[in-house]
Amino acid sequence: MTQLSVNVNKIAVLRNSRGGYEPDPARFARAALDAGAHGITVHPRPDQRHIRVTDIGPIAAILGDAELNIEGNPFAPARDGYPGLIAIVADSRPAQATLVPDGDGQITSDHGFDLARDAQRLRPLIAELRRAGCRVSLFVDAGCADVERAAEIGAERIEIYTGPFAQAHARGDAARALAQCLDTAQRARKVGLGINAGHDLNQHNLGELLAAAGFIDEVSIGHALFAEALVDGLATTVGRYLNILARADR
């Protein structure tokens, strides 16, 4: 069955808007796992506007057998309070590191790597992350022309950026975006890559994505999941996502 990794960044955004310690991202990570989520995702950015580097240890400590996925830009230089993605991974030893080409000014991740341009810069960083013992996934656009290069430079998975699919789905015109997701997943699978997906997925569009590309290993969902949980509660919301995944698996 496709695994559900819950991104708890939005809990940190709420905490940071007020200052102090509440709500605690580690507490919500534990609640998501208790509700059946398979893993937790965090994306510490250099400006630490949501998840902070100091959040990662407490979250890792409550995971048990669940997976920690740390996202970040491996090209972003270290600075005060942010030692760089490679150092964070080396210290926390997550199950997975997802490399994302987001700049400091981006509100959220909104595009994948240009592998024609970035592959050779990524290669040694991927090797270093794998030596730290974690699986490496690369964030790519649906329709990525050279997704096969992810395998050539040592990545073990890709994460398909599903924002355009979600937008098309909301408009009622998702066929082309779905076809791009499926083509990218099929080509990646042929060269031995695992397939993750994430961004703007929700209870309305996830089932259609899984039905079109039924061999997705993991979905990472945060913004929509916590928005829905504000109305229905976290345990209920996680349970509904798990039901969508189970139906797709059948």
* Type and span of the H or E element at 137: strand 135-141
Nearest to 57, CA basis, from 84, 23, 22, 29: 29
Residue 182: half-sphere exposure toward Cβ, Cα within 13 Å: 13
Nearest to 198, CA basis, from 178, 182, 218: 218
Catalytic residue among 38, 50, 67, 71: 71
Instruction: Work out the number of other CB atoms within 10 angstroms of the CB of residue 66.
Output: 18
Catalytic: 71? Answer: yes
Q: How far apart, in whole angstroms, are the C-alpha atoms of residue 156 and residue 250?
A: 26
Q: 127-157: buried (b, 16+ CB within 10 Å) or exposed (e) per residue? A: eebeebebbbbbbbbbbbeebebbbebbbbb
User: Six-digit token pair at 99?
Assistant: 């490399």
Q: For the CA atoms of the chain, what is the radius of gyration? A: 17
Catalytic residue among 43, 50, 159, 228: 43
Looking at this protein, which amino acid is placed at residue 119?
A: A
Catalytic: 43? Answer: yes
Q: Note the helical H segments in 77-144.
A: 85-92, 115-131
Catalytic residue among 38, 50, 169, 199: 199
Catalytic residues: 43, 71, 199
